[in-house]
Amino acid sequence: MSQAASEVLDYVLAGGTVIDGTNTPGRRADVGVRGDRVVAVGDLSQAAARERIDVSGMVVAPGFIDSHTHDDNYLLRKRDMTPKISQGVTTVVTGNCGISLAPLADAAPPAPLDLLDEGGSFRFTSFAAYLQALRETPAAVNAACMVGHSTLRAAVMPELHRPANAGEIDAMRALADEALASGAIGISTGTFYPPAAQATTEEIIEVCRPLAEHGGVYATHMRDEGEHIVAALEETFRIGRELDVPVVISHHKLAGKPNFGRSTETLAIIERAMTEQSVSLDAYPYVAGSTMLKQDSVLLAGRTLITWCKPFPELAGRDLDEVAAERGKSKFDLVAELQPAGAIYFMMDEDDVQRILAFGPTMIGSDGLPHDERPHPRLWGTFPRVLGHYSRDLGLFPLETAVWKMTGLTASRFGLAERGVVQPGFFADLVVFDPEQVADAATFDRPTERAAGIHSVYVNGAPVWREQGFTGEHPGRVLNWSGQ
């Protein structure tokens, strides 16, 4: 027994199978915690501990890291973070798709920035002020925060539907520099969306120049995930090369029936790029996506569910085809009348979803929208769905690989030091789950059902989820970029 383990431990998780987040076989071991750290892993039957928790038959793993969230505002508004801790998530990566809560003061932010808004939410004129608010009123989970390029555009440009001029690029670069100096772990873009659709590649490169000095990731919801996805991938790789920074391709998918099956093509392209530069990707385990309701023929080609609608709130949860039929209009034309609104789009092929999930370096990110009236079930079910449906039931990959894809792999790609692995000296972000029972329960009809099989969750050593409920603890911290 080590000297550290010979001292009194706060608690021991005893008798479980440790799957440590390194994609190596699980082993029977106890895990000892003192303060915010794991201090011992092994046979701790003789160790002195204030509490010994029997987790026999359970898996002890690193807390899951949600690589793609829009929890920027939810961390402040709903600090218990129940949709996340109830499925084993201990860290969320925010500021994705070019959308961050700061730096922007705007009572009526443009779509899709309004996906984060609950009225008066965009009030932080500096990224430092936003991070300070997170530190002063911590949530139940850790937060690693990126600054969004679309938010920078909204803060600087009076008109978004054009390329930025030199002065505006300089102003955005200065805001990006402040955000990274304050603790942002990277910059994200969402050129798929109207506020950034007219941004040139050169604009993005110049705005993101501070990444070279401060370090951090460049994450992107690419310009196109359908017919022109190869060109979008090449643009993404070019930005990473020009800046010499790690790239993360957000929620990789092939949208629209004409593109079904093309993941064989795109994954081969991504794999080749990985041999030449730092490229990562994440995905969510569903054939439907969710975002703003948009007049997009590819998105609207399949079934579309309304998740929220400001002018007609009673339509939340309704099928867009049914509403269009009732009103005697095409659903494409109806979209304009329902703005602002959000939707779920059934636009992907299951074979592509499985192929992307099974691709070795793919991380897991929920892309959940916590402020939606009727959210996509991925908000509550992503991680148990990977563990239960895709790993255990379908055998897409071993349980150890599933855990790695949502822990150690993600921590390394987002520069989160001493996170994502169960080993002495690392932070005690831990989840205990039943490998036979873990499963997602949220559905498109009942999207907020809590997952099954999650026994307990610990963040920085403190229990946040026990006996199927929030413990009242808020031990989350703001995490900084520490490199790869």
pLDDT given for residue 172 in this prediction: 98
pLDDT given for residue 4 in this prediction: 56
> Looking at the predicted structure, is the pLDDT value of residue 5 above 60?
no
> Looking at the predicted structure, is the pLDDT value of residue 446 above 70?
yes
% of the chain beyond a pLDDT of 90: 98
* Alpha helices by DSSP H, 63-192: 74-77, 82-85, 127-136, 149-156, 166-182
How many angstroms separate the Cα of 338 from the Cα of each of 11, 289, 300, 306, 369? 53, 19, 14, 10, 19
> Closest Cα to residue 92, out of 470, 452, 406, 453?
406
The answer to whether the CB of 309 falls within 8 A of the CB of 334 is no
Domains of the chain plus CATH, in order, are: 63-299+343-412 (3.20.20.140), 300-342 (3.30.1490.130)
> Closest Cα to residue 365, out of 221, 150, 184?
221
> Average pLDDT for residues 152-157, to the nearest whole number?
98
pLDDT given for residue 450 in this prediction: 98
Scanning the structure block, which residue is given the tokens 């705007």?
Answer: 106
pLDDT given for residue 24 in this prediction: 98
Residues in the chain: 484
User: CA-CA distance, 163 to 156, in Å (whole number)?
Assistant: 12
- Exposure string for 361-377, b = 16+ CB within 10 A, e = fewer: ebbbbbbbbbbbbbbbb
User: CA-CA distance, 79 to 129, in Å (whole number)?
Assistant: 18
Residue 167: CB atoms within 10 A of its CB come to 9
User: CA-CA distance, 395 to 392, in Å (whole number)?
Assistant: 5
Per-state percent for the chain, helix, strand, coil, to nearest 5: 30, 25, 45
User: CA-CA distance, 328 to 456, in Å (whole number)?
Assistant: 50
Residues 6+ apart with CB under 8 A from 418: 425, 426, 427
User: pLDDT digits over 326-382, tens only?
Assistant: 999 999 999 999 999 999 999 999 999 999 999 999 999 999 999 999 999 999 999
Ordered DSSP codes for 225-259:
SSTTHHHHHHHHHHHHHHHT--EEETT----SGGG
> Average pLDDT for residues 440-456, to the nearest whole number?
98
% of the chain beyond a pLDDT of 70: 99
β-bridge partners, 124: 104
pLDDT given for residue 2 in this prediction: 52
The answer to whether the CB of 143 falls within 8 A of the CB of 476 is yes
> Looking at the predicted structure, is the pLDDT value of residue 235 above 60?
yes
Scanning the structure block, which residue is given the tokens 């910059």?
Answer: 187
> Closest Cα to residue 141, out of 426, 454, 478?
478
Question: Which residue type is seen at 174?
Answer: A
User: pLDDT digits over 85-132, tens only?
Assistant: 999 999 999 999 999 999 999 999 999 999 999 999 999 999 999 999
The answer to whether the CB of 69 falls within 8 A of the CB of 94 is yes
User: CA-CA distance, 363 to 69, in Å (whole number)?
Assistant: 13
Question: Which residue type is seen at 133?
Answer: A
User: CA-CA distance, 49 to 205, in Å (whole number)?
Assistant: 53
How many angstroms separate the Cα of 312 from the Cα of each of 103, 372, 383? 30, 14, 32
pLDDT given for residue 244 in this prediction: 98
β-bridge partners, 362: 281
pLDDT given for residue 483 in this prediction: 74
Confidence of residue 233 (pLDDT cuts 50, 70, 90): very high
User: CA-CA distance, 33 to 427, in Å (whole number)?
Assistant: 9
> Average pLDDT for residues 416-428, to the nearest whole number?
98
Task: Sheet containing 64-66: give its strands across.
Answer: 64-66, 89-94, 142-145
> Average pLDDT for residues 303-314, to the nearest whole number?
97
What value does the mean pLDDT of the chain take?
97
Residue 449: CB atoms within 10 A of its CB come to 15
Cis check: omega of the bond before 377, within 30 degrees of 0: no
23's tokens: 């994609």
> Average pLDDT for residues 25-41, to the nearest whole number?
98
User: pLDDT digits over 251-280, tens only?
Assistant: 999 999 999 999 999 999 999 999 999 999
> Closest Cα to residue 68, out of 449, 479, 414, 470?
414
